[in-house]
Amino acid sequence: MKTLVAYFSWSGNTEKIAKRIVAKTGADMFRIERKVPYSEDYNTCAYREAKEEIEKKIRPEIKTPLPDVEKYDSLILAFPIWWYTSPLPVWRFLESYPDWKGKRFIFLRTLIQMIITT
Ligand SMILES: Cc1cc2nc3c(=O)[nH]c(=O)nc-3n(C[C@H](O)[C@H](O)[C@H](O)COP(=O)(O)O)c2cc1C
């Protein structure tokens, strides 16, 4: 069974978890990254960029070509909660594929730093 770990991470928490899963399972990994990077400043990222995308339902472009998901039986999708939902590049990723039928999904949402630092 082939698994893909697709993850989005802004400040690194989800990335650490994704890398641990990959190290333990040997799954492939794909980073969902916005083509135009979010600001490194929390307030700009949270209160301007991310908020605007959510309010306007924007689907921002992803930086790298998307993986061929046909090769995988399972997909672990890891992302932080942003404004009570997922970052919009994750929506873009999910909506880029016409059909997810037959795939097994595991959603991993990182809420707080505690999870990964312990
Ligand atoms: C733009 C933005 C919005 C966020 N919104 C929420 C939220 O609605 N609820 C929550 O519990 N945490 C929220 N957080 C906190 C993140 O979910 C948390 O810090 C997470 O561990 C970050 O993961 P990352 O390091 O992989 O980016 C938000 C963080 C950012 C940057």
Closest protein CA for atom 27 of ligand 1: 10
Q: Which helix (H) or strand (E) holds 117?
A: helix 114-117
CATH 2.60.120.200 fits 3-117, yes or no: no
Q: Count CA atoms within 13 Å of residue 73 on its CB side.
A: 2
Q: Is the CB of 86 under 6 A from ligand 1?
A: no
Atom of ligand 1 nearest to the CA of 51: 1
pTM: 0.94
Span 54-69, mean pLDDT? Answer: 97
- The arithmetic mean of pLDDT across residues 35-64, rounded, is 97
- pLDDT band at residue 116 using 50, 70 and 90 as cut-offs: very low
Write down the mean pLDDT value for the chain.
92
